[in-house]
């Protein structure tokens, strides 16, 4: 029982701290990436451009929790085509998503990769402008 039982304590003494450092590193890198993206967006100008909604999509994610069971999260995305022909996809709230329809035209406001808002042009006023 002497030598055979000691190897387990040596293994826990080296592997467990390494595992902890790796997990902590992943958390720090993820948080750092979010802070860098926020900082990059903050330096960008707020732009408002004419655009058209070309697509909408949702992404469902399920997480299992101990006491509550499975919890489902829904993420909403809208793709805009701007005047230059470029397409940009933004994560939006469920309320914004519900108000958007493919083909809607309006003014998209964003800052870097951060969605700020979309102001739809009234279809009635669009028909008057085209005449």
Specify the pairing of strand 87-92 against strand 69-82. antiparallel
Between the two ends of the chain, the Cα-to-Cα distance in Å is: 94
- Indicate if the pLDDT at residue 130 is higher than 60: no
What's residue 107's pLDDT?
95
Our CA dihedral for 92, 93, 95, 98, rounded to 10 degrees, sits at: 40
| Percent of the chain residues topping a pLDDT of 70 | 84
Q: What is the pLDDT of residue 48?
A: 95
Looking at the predicted structure, is the pLDDT value of residue 1 above 60?
no
Instruction: Record the tokens describing residue 51, joined without a space.
Output: 């655009």
The residue with greater pLDDT, 106 or 130, is 106
Domain boundaries, the chain: 1-43, 47-128
Would you say the pTM of this structure is higher than 0.85? no
Give the pLDDT of residue 5.
57
If pLDDT is split at 50, 70 and 90, which confidence band does 22 have? confident
Write b or e for each residue in 23-41: b if 16 or more Cβ atoms lie within 10 A of its Cβ, otherwise e: eeeeeeeeeeeeeeeeeee
Q: How confident is the model at residue 60 (pLDDT cuts 50, 70, 90)?
A: very high
Look up tokens 């993420």; give the residue: 75
Name the phi and psi angles at 102, rounded to 5.
-60, 135
Computed over every residue of the chain, the mean pLDDT equals: 85
Q: What is the pLDDT of residues 27-40, one digit of tens each?
A: 888 888 888 888 88
Averaged pLDDT, 14-41 = 84
CATH number of 47-128: 2.40.50.660
């Amino acid at each position: 029982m002497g030598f055979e039982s000691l190897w387990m304590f040596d293994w826990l003494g080296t592997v467990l701290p390494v595992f902890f450092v790796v997990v902590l590193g992943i958390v720090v890198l993820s948080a750092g990436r979010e802070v860098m993206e926020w900082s990059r967006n903050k330096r960008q100008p707020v732009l408002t451009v004419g655009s058209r909604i070309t697509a909408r999509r949702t992404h469902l994610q399920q997480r299992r929790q101990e006491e509550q069971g499975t919890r489902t999260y829904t993420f909403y995305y809208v793709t805009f085509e701007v005047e230059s022909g470029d397409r940009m996809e933004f994560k939006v709230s469920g309320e914004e998503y519900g108000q958007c329809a493919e083909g809607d035209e309006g003014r998209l406001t964003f800052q870097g990769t951060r969605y700020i808002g979309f102001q739809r042009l009234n279809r009635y006023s669009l028909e008057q402008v085209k005449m």
